[in-house]
Amino acid sequence: MATAFLHDDNGVPYEGGTPTNVSTNTTTNIKSGAGFLHRITVNNPGSSWTITVYDSTSGSGTKLATITPSLVGSLEYDVEFTTGLTVVTSGTTAGDITVSSV
C-alpha cells in the first residue's frame, strides 16, 4: 500500500497517512477508531455524484462533510475523527476520489 505525504503548517511535506481510492457508488469504511482526515482528492467528479463523510464505522452518524464535486481538485479538511472514518458515495455515474487519512 502506498504512503501519503502530508504537509505541516509551513507546507513542509512529511510521510504519513494512508490513501484510499473510491471509484464506485458504495459505503467504504476507511478506518476504525480515532484518526485524522487530511484531504479528499477528486480525480473524476462523476455525474450528479455525492460524497458524504462520517465520523463513524458505518454510513450514518456524525457527518463531517457532504460534497457534490463538479471539478477535479483537492479538498483540505485537516479534521480529527473519534469513532472511525466512513465515506458514502452515490449518484448517477460514479466518480473517483482518493481519501488521505491517518
- Per residue in 84-97, pLDDT tens? 999 999 999 999 99
| All structural domains of the chain with their residue ranges | 21-101
Q: Other CB atoms closer than 10 Å to residue 53's CB: what's the count?
A: 24
Res 7: pLDDT:
59
Identify whether the C-beta of residue 77 lies closer than 8 Å to the C-beta of residue 40.
Answer: yes
Helix (H, G, I), strand (E, B) or coil at 60: coil
pLDDT at 82 over 70: yes
Confidence (pTM): 0.84
Cα 4 to Cα 17: distance, rounded to the nearest angstrom: 5
Give 3-state DSSP helix, strand, coil % of the chain, rounded to 5: 0, 65, 35
pLDDT in tens, 25-41: 999 999 999 999 999 99
pLDDT in tens, 45-72: 999 999 999 999 999 999 999 999 999 9
Higher pLDDT, 19 or 15: 19
pLDDT at 13 over 70: no
21-101 domain in CATH 1.10.150?
A: no
